[in-house]
Chain A
Amino acid sequence: MIQHFPILSIMVLFLGAFLVVLVGRSRIARTAVVSAAVLTSFALMVALIKPVMIDGQIISYWMGNWAPVSGYAIGIGIEVDALSLFFGLLVSLAVMLSGFYSFKYITQDDSPDLFFTLYLMLAGGVMGIVLSGDLFNIFVMLEVMTFAAVALTAFRSWNPNAREAAFKYLVVGSLGSTFVLLGTALVYGQCHTLNLAQISGLLSVNGINPTMTFAFALLFTGFGVKAFMTPFHPIAADAHAAAPSSVSVLISGVFTKTGVYGIIRVSYFLFKSMGMSSMQTGLVFIGCVSMFVCVTMALNQHDFKRLLAFHSISQIGYILTSLGLCSAIGIAGGLYHAINHTLFKGLLFLTAGAVLYATGTTKLEKLGGLARRMPQTAALFMVGAFSISGIPPFNGFVSKWMIYQAAYEKAAETGSIGYAFVTVIAVVTSVLTLASFVKVGQSVFFGELPVELENVKETPLSMRIPMWIMAALCLLTGVLPGLMQQYIINPAVRATLDYKGYIDAMMGEGYAAAHLADTVPLAEAKYTFAGAWDPAFWLVLFVIVLLGVTVAMMIGKSGRGAATAIADDKHDTFFGGEKNTFSQVGGGDLFWGFKYNFRRYLNVMGNAHSGVVNDYVTWGVIDLALIIVYCFIFM
């Protein structure tokens, strides 16, 4: 019975999508269908934790019972190992929470039935990718996902930018699909099969020839487009800003994860290129560039959601960097950061959606002082901002610490100054992230309340509940890293590093031993932590600081301080709604000095993000050419 769970958790989403079309306008029926679909999908994924994560079972499932004959996989296989299940859990969790959020959120738009059809199609496509065991099937599901994401980007007919963003997204996204399909075709030409496990076995027997190097570069770049790695990030920013917020959650938390998943599968599993130090350097370089470029771009933004979008890619840069380090702690840190990224980024996008829902704008200049009007949203935003900036005891701290440690250990191990520099870049990026969230907080939730926003109300309860759940998960994954590592992260790390079980489960016992005889594991799946980082201490410290702030606040209010300082607007800061009389610089312009000193760099980057779709395609093809050259030289 259990082997049917993965396919059912994919199909239930698609069935839900079609049933939404059939039930049409009935709101209750639609809500019931969507809730049933996302809940069933999540429940089926959770039910797989016990056998796959804890017992180490690998579920292989052949469509139509077409098991391999004479050592060739003739059918399409679905295979769920710990890595696939890790991403599957992530996807279904984000889809479920964001789906519940959208029931109320989408009432501001027309045709919600079309919205939920596309929403479930997007979710089903992503689930199809992460659970699939067939290269061409991954391409097909990638296209389902891309189309649904493009259509959802264009969904807001009242947003004048939506069609433009969708068109750019479609053009650049189809560029990525082209790369993936061309790579798939070349791999088929070499291996005469499309099954991932068998390709992995045959490629290590045949070795890497020029055709396969080319195919690797294509597949890597193609999945990189889906992960929005650096030259492809402008479309992500456009799409996030134009799409409804609950879709932004999916695009940032789920869509990009398929790219990360694809990169892991291609470079760790199919081509096993991660063993080479040159490829590690390449991936780390791409990650660092993504991380740094996007965080500096984010500092310069004036739109809440666009800023969040750039941060999203910046965090993807963290994930790619730590995956490129190719040590056990690096992979663990990357996967941990992937789950945290989905949680805190989802939370931040949902708060942005709440602000948009309540006020109708996401322009930083037009917002302000919302903390008094929307206290819960402000608190949730603080949680998300603390998490993404890596402030203990929230989850970003744990994974970022692991990434720093991995980079530092790599530097110590290889003795190269470059990896030490990577650690520095990671820390600097984290600081800049915090800086730009200070700016967002100052200009959206604190500061002076504009007159137009006097009547703003807190968002409805049905929108707040998913946000609170995400915030609670942010705290829980930060406080209980041991539990997470034991049950979720470590099995996935083991599955990434030791894939022989995957191949055997797919192709029959002994296939891996026959084909991968002399392949050594890339690294041992064991790691220890450095430093005093027990999260319980941090939680206690956090609570103490929180208490201290509260006490100071109460003392200040009790009037004892009134003798020395007259209570006026000047002392009213940081709780929202205060006047701007005493601050010379508005929240949106908080880092004017930084911007001025880096104006050359920011100008260059601003010109590069020209908004012309030809330019984005050009950057993409140049990036592909660079990766091809790099692979041909070093692989």
Chain B
Amino acid sequence: MMLVNYIGAVLLLATGFYVMMTKENIIKIVIGMGIIDYGLNLIIVSIGFNEGGTAPIFTMSELKPGMYFVDPVPQALTLTSIVIGACVTAMALTLCIKLYEEYGTLNSSHIRRLRG
């Protein structure tokens, strides 16, 4: 079960890299960065998953003998990583807006004043 998640995460990462490497539209590059974030979040949460575990909350009335939790640490890490991913996207999109204003294009092969 988890193997599918792991492999899916690796494939998501590879897709993100592919998008970032080949797509010339800078908005698509930002989308590629987003895909990479999802891959990362998926792999972190999957590392913490535990077959048959419940949400790690001590609600006294619902706990039954023999129950166990999934790993809460990766969930906390994922929360942090989601916020960081959102910040990356926000920052990159503001830069895209400005770049479009300045260059009149979203094509990354035309946004290349700095070279050589």
Are A and B close enough to touch in the complex, i.e. CB under 8 Å?
yes
Q: What total of chain B residues lie within 8 Å of the partner, measured CB to CB? A: 39
Q: Within 8 Å of chain B (Cβ to Cβ): is A188?
A: yes
Nearest CB of A to B76, in Å: 9
* Pairwise interchain contact A136-B17, C-beta atoms closer than 8 A: no
* Pairwise interchain contact A612-B44, C-beta atoms closer than 8 A: no
Nearest CB of A to B53, in Å: 15
Scan residues 62-116 of chain B and give those whose CB is less than 8 A from a CB of chain A: 73-74, 77, 80-81, 84, 87-88, 91-92, 95-96, 98-99, 102-103, 108-109, 111-116
Residue from the set B24, B84, B95, B109 with the largest chain A CB neighbour count within 10 Å: B95
A168: chain B residues at CB < 8 Å are 114
Question: With A170-B88, A613-B29, A614-B108 in contact, do A154 and B95 touch (Cβ < 8 Å)?
Answer: yes
* Pairwise interchain contact B114-A241, C-beta atoms closer than 8 A: yes
1/0 contact trace for A131-164 toward B, CB 8 Å? 0000010001001000100110010000011011
- How far is A178 from B115 in the complex, measured between Cα atoms in Å? 25
Question: With A181-B81, A182-B13, A613-B108 in contact, do A170 and B113 touch (Cβ < 8 Å)?
Answer: no
Q: Within 8 Å of chain B (Cβ to Cβ): is A550?
A: no
1/0 contact trace for A338-369 toward B, CB 8 Å? 00000000000000000000000000000000
Nearest CB of A to B19, in Å: 10
A242: chain B residues at CB < 8 Å are 114
Nearest CB of A to B47, in Å: 5
A609 contact from B20, B26, B113, B116, Cβ within 8 A: B116
* Pairwise interchain contact A151-B91, C-beta atoms closer than 8 A: yes
Nearest CB of B to A232, in Å: 14
* Pairwise interchain contact A174-B88, C-beta atoms closer than 8 A: yes
Scan residues 1-59 of chain B and give those whose CB is less than 8 A from a CB of chain A: 13, 17, 20-24, 26, 29, 33, 36, 40, 43-44, 47
* Pairwise interchain contact B80-A140, C-beta atoms closer than 8 A: yes
Scan residues 158-195 of chain A and give those whose CB is less than 8 A from a CB of chain B: 160-161, 163-168, 170-171, 174-175, 177-178, 181-182, 185, 188-189, 194
CB nearest neighbor in A for B112: A611
Question: With A170-B91, A185-B43 in contact, do A163 and B33 touch (Cβ < 8 Å)?
Answer: no
Q: Within 8 Å of chain B (Cβ to Cβ): is A621?
A: yes
- How far is A182 from B41 in the complex, measured between Cα atoms in Å? 9
- How far is A476 from B115 in the complex, measured between Cα atoms in Å? 38
* Pairwise interchain contact A617-B113, C-beta atoms closer than 8 A: no
CB nearest neighbor in A for B87: A147
Residue from the set B20, B21, B87, B114 with the largest chain A CB neighbour count within 10 Å: B114
A610: chain B residues at CB < 8 Å are 112, 115
* Pairwise interchain contact A171-B33, C-beta atoms closer than 8 A: yes
A164 contact from B29, B81, B113, Cβ within 8 A: B113
- How far is A49 from B68 in the complex, measured between Cα atoms in Å? 48
- How far is A170 from B98 in the complex, measured between Cα atoms in Å? 14
Nearest CB of B to A141, in Å: 11
Residue from the set B21, B47, B111 with the largest chain A CB neighbour count within 10 Å: B21
Nearest CB of B to A54, in Å: 37
Q: Within 8 Å of chain B (Cβ to Cβ): is A618?
A: yes
B40: chain A residues at CB < 8 Å are 178, 181-182, 185
Nearest CB of B to A408, in Å: 35
Nearest CB of A to B39, in Å: 8
* Pairwise interchain contact B98-A163, C-beta atoms closer than 8 A: yes
* Pairwise interchain contact B21-A617, C-beta atoms closer than 8 A: yes
A188 contact from B26, B74, B84, B87, Cβ within 8 A: B74
- How far is A143 from B88 in the complex, measured between Cα atoms in Å? 9
B20 contact from A175, A185, A189, A241, Cβ within 8 A: A175
Nearest CB of A to B4, in Å: 16
Scan residues 558-614 of chain A and give those whose CB is less than 8 A from a CB of chain B: 606, 609-614
CB nearest neighbor in B for A297: B116
Nearest CB of A to B81, in Å: 7
* Pairwise interchain contact A614-B29, C-beta atoms closer than 8 A: yes
Nearest CB of A to B3, in Å: 13
Q: Within 8 Å of chain B (Cβ to Cβ): is A300?
A: yes
Apart from A160-B102, A161-B114, what 11 extra A-B contacts exist at CB < 8 Å? A140-B84, A167-B26, A171-B20, A174-B36, A178-B36, A181-B81, A185-B74, A188-B44, A189-B47, A610-B112, A614-B29
Can you list 13 residue pairs at the A/B interface with Cβ under 8 Å?
A136-B80, A140-B80, A151-B91, A160-B113, A163-B99, A168-B114, A174-B88, A175-B20, A238-B114, A606-B116, A611-B115, A617-B29, A621-B21
Chain B residues with CB under 8 Å of chain A are 13, 17, 20-24, 26, 29, 33, 36, 40, 43-44, 47, 73-74, 77, 80-81, 84, 87-88, 91-92, 95-96, 98-99, 102-103, 108-109, 111-116
- The 3 A-B pairs at the shortest CB distance, nearest first, are namely A611-B115, A611-B112, A167-B95
